[in-house]
Each structure stands twice: as structure tokens, then as C-alpha cells.
Amino acid sequence: MQVGDAEILNIPVRHDAADPCGFLIRTPGGSVTVLTDLGSPSLGALEAIGESRLVVLEANHDETMVRRGPYPARLQRRILSDSGHLSNADCGELLARSLGGSSCPPTVWLAHLSQTNNRPHLAMQTVQRRLARSGLRLDLHPLPRREINDTWRPDTAKAGIAQLSFDFPSTEEDPWGLGAVGL
């Protein structure tokens, strides 16, 4: 889909939902990848992350917390499956595979952190440890679950920002414009 100067592509992902997908948003200022609710990586996810300046990627859970947590075995199996949710360790692995040899690594926002089975510091630590084994140092930030912060823009990117929006100009087809479309 084309919206103003932005091209929005869907990225098929594995999740136990009907036709789940992530998004690659290409703009003149750079690309952004948004991937949550994926149980395992896909080729499309690898490629999208590799071309992006900002990556919003699921780091849903710590596997030990899931196994020792309050969820019944059936729900634990679902979360840990290839069509469940991406663990902190798998998030780090996906980033390492996607960005190995990258000359311009992106800012990464860790998203969809489980309130029950994860902690922001644990997600950061696990992902950073995996990236370090590949010689990668990324600008990583766990997103808060409910708070909204400033807007990330490619030309004024700052650390720790937790809201993404695109400003689209009005067009003849859309005289009111879309304003800021937030993700």
C-alpha cells in the first residue's frame, strides 16, 4: 500500500492467528520494521530488519519465567511454540542474524514484553548478550507497556523514544491528510 511518500509492505509471520503479519514501512528518510506476535523468524523478517533504521521487535518473554510462572502447561506450550511469541533469546538471535555485517545498525525498540513473563532489564540484558557474541552493539530500548513518549523521526532520532508516527501531507485524494498516523 502507498500512503503519501510511504510504502507499507506486509511481512507474513508465524503466529496462532488468522493471517498475522508485521510491517515494513519505507519512507524517503529510511525504513521502519514493526514485528510483534511472531513465534519464529521468517526470511521476510530477516530482510526487513536488515534494511531498517528503526526496528520495533517483539521480545515477549524469558523462557525460564514462562516455565516457572503461573500459566497452565497448555498456555506455556502455546507461548513457547514456533507460532506463539518470540522470546528474548530468539529476539537477540533474529537481530544478530539480520544485522551481522551491517554498516549502519538501526535503533531497536523491544516491544510486546509480557507483564507476567518478562522484565525490561532482563529483555535488554538477554538481547545485548546475544548481540555481543556477534560483535554487535545496538541502540536498544524496551518499550513501556502503556506510556507514550515523543515521536521518532529519522532525521531527529533520539534514544529512548517510545512512539512512532508518520506525518503525511494532504493530497487531492485525501484533502484533510492523514495527519500523524501512529503505530
| Each residue's pLDDT tens digit, 17-62 | 777 789 999 998 889 999 988 888 888 899 999 999 999 999 999 9
Give pTM, 2 decimals.
0.81
Tell me what percent of the residues of the chain surpass a pLDDT of 90.
54
The percent helix, strand, coil of the chain (3-state, each to 5) is 30, 30, 45
> What is the structure's pLDDT at 14?
77
- Going by C-alpha positions, the residue among 168, 156, 135 that lies closest to residue 53 is 156
User: What are the pLDDT digits (tens) for 119-158?
Assistant: 999 999 999 999 999 999 888 999 887 777 656 666 655 4
Q: Locate cell 514456533: which residue?
A: 82
State the Cα–Cα distance between residues 129 and 123, nearest whole angstrom.
10
Burial grade of 131 (CB within 10 A; 0-12, 13-18, 19 or more):
buried
**Domain residue spans of the chain:** 2-182
- Going by C-alpha positions, the residue among 58, 56, 59, 60 that lies closest to residue 31 is 56
